[in-house]
Amino acid sequence: MAILKAARLGHPIIRTRARVLTRAEITSSEVQRLIEDMIETMREYDGVGLAAPQIHVPKQIAVIEVNHNPRYPKMPAVPLVVLINPTIVKRSKKLVEDWEGCLSIPDLRGMVPRSESVECEALDRGGKTIKIAADGFFARVIQHECDHLQGMVYLDRMSKLRSLTHLAEFTRYGIGDQTRYD
């Protein structure tokens, strides 16, 4: 396994729509190794999700896991999930705002409106169709990672650019604790 270098905003791949994979590609040893490397890379950087374009690979693969993450200490746990060719097939009209960060946009946080709940169809790492119903933080991470596969980042979704904050100031001024955004 290997820890891969993260592509940052400004690298063209972050703005590139990723390619859909065939079932045969998914089960290839190359893609299976890539998935392992993505999981290891996500854990190394304390990410709660990672999309393949973020490690310079324009393929529709995302991994998500939340497990006592020091970057998001208050968020509920989400077991490891691998999403290939994901599509959000249903989303709640109700939006909720919360803070997001991104490994490709280091040291920043911004408040982003997202659908409170989503249903996502995807293939798993065995090429099997899965359907996930998610709400709250899990739904938010799914939307964030699906955006990456379309060449979008959370900044594109922000309605209040004024909330954009450096992580050090976010912590220093307790911004995440003070703000109410229901």
Residues 20, 24, 29, 30: what is their CA dihedral angle, to the nearest 10 degrees?
-30
Contact 124, 23 (CB under 8 A): no
Report in angstroms how near the CB of residue 105 gets to Ni ion at its nearest.
7
Q: What is the dihedral of CA 118, 72, 101, 180, to 10 degrees?
A: 80
Residues 68-127 binding Ni ion (CB under 5 A) are: 102
Q: Which is nearer to Ni ion, 96 or 102 (CB)?
A: 102
Tell me whether residue 121 is one of the annotated catalytic residues. Answer: no
User: Which of 65, 97, 100, 145 is an active site residue?
Assistant: 145
User: What is the residue whose two structure tokens read 């280091």?
Assistant: 106
- Looking at beta carbons only, is 83 or 102 nearer to Ni ion? 102
Q: How far is the CB of 169 from Ni ion (least distance, A)?
A: 20
Q: Which of 94, 104, 90, 171 is nearest to 144 (CA)?
A: 104
| Residue showing the smallest CB distance to Ni ion in the complex | 102
Question: 79 Cβ partners below 8 Å, 6+ apart?
Answer: 65
Nearer to Ni ion, 4 or 102 (CB): 102
CB of 174 to Ni ion, least distance (A): 24
Measured from the CB atom, the residue of 107 and 173 that comes closer to Ni ion is: 107
Q: How far is the CB of 23 from Ni ion (least distance, A)?
A: 26
Interacting positions 126-155 with Ni ion (CB under 5 A): none
Residues near Ni ion (CB under 5 A): 102
Q: Which amino acids are annotated catalytic?
A: 145
